[in-house]
Structures are given as C-alpha cells and as structure tokens.
C-alpha cells in the first residue's frame, strides 16, 4: 500500500509524511524539507513565513530531498491561500 503524502500549507511541497495537524488540531512536529517550517514549533503565520522564505531565495531546507526537476511556481499552485 502506497503511503499518502500531504501538502505543506506554507510552501506547497506535496511530500509531507503526515498531515501538519490532525483532526483534533494536534501538530505533527514534522519539519518540511522544502521550507523548513516545523508544525507545532514555528509560530509565524504561514503567509508571513512563506513571504520570508520566498524573499530569502526559496532555498531548500534539506537540499538532498530537493527533486531534480523542482519547479517553485508549480509547487506554489498547491497552496489554498
């Protein structure tokens, strides 16, 4: 059975292993390998963190997990806000 992947609400990365928050609102504490946001630890609003990440060059937090054909604009289209 294939593991379900979840979208980071900060940067749109579609490879999170867990939902950022469960149905009860409990954080996963997973760190997005793309933008570096840690759910349950980082307190900045998603939009503010995203703007800071984009303004600093949208660098991957875990570079070895960056897909070879990564497309920032395509990834950002995964976002709901």
- Listed in sequence order, the residues at least 6 apart from 50 whose beta carbon sits closer than 8 Å to its beta carbon are 10, 11, 35
Q: How confident is the model at residue 1 (pLDDT cuts 50, 70, 90)?
A: very low
Question: Residue 3: its pLDDT value, please?
Answer: 75
Q: Domain extents for the chain?
A: 1-81
Q: What is the largest CA-CA distance in the chain?
A: 39
Question: Residue 22: its pLDDT value, please?
Answer: 93
- How crowded is residue 45: how many other Cβ atoms within 10 Å of its Cβ? 10
Tens digit of pLDDT for each residue in 10-69? 999 999 999 999 999 999 999 999 999 999 999 889 999 999 999 999 999 999 999 999
Backbone angles phi, psi at 6, to 5 degrees: -125, 155
């Amino acid at each position: 059975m294939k593991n379900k992947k979840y979208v980071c609400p900060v940067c749109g990365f579609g490879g999170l292993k867990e939902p950022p928050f469960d149905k009860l609102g409990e954080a996963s504490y997973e760190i997005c390998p793309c933008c570096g946001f840690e759910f349950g630890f980082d307190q900045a609003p998603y939009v503010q963190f995203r703007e800071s990440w984009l303004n600093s060059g949208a660098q991957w937090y875990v570079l070895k997990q960056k897909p070879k054909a990564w497309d920032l604009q395509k990834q950002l289209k995964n976002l709901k806000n």
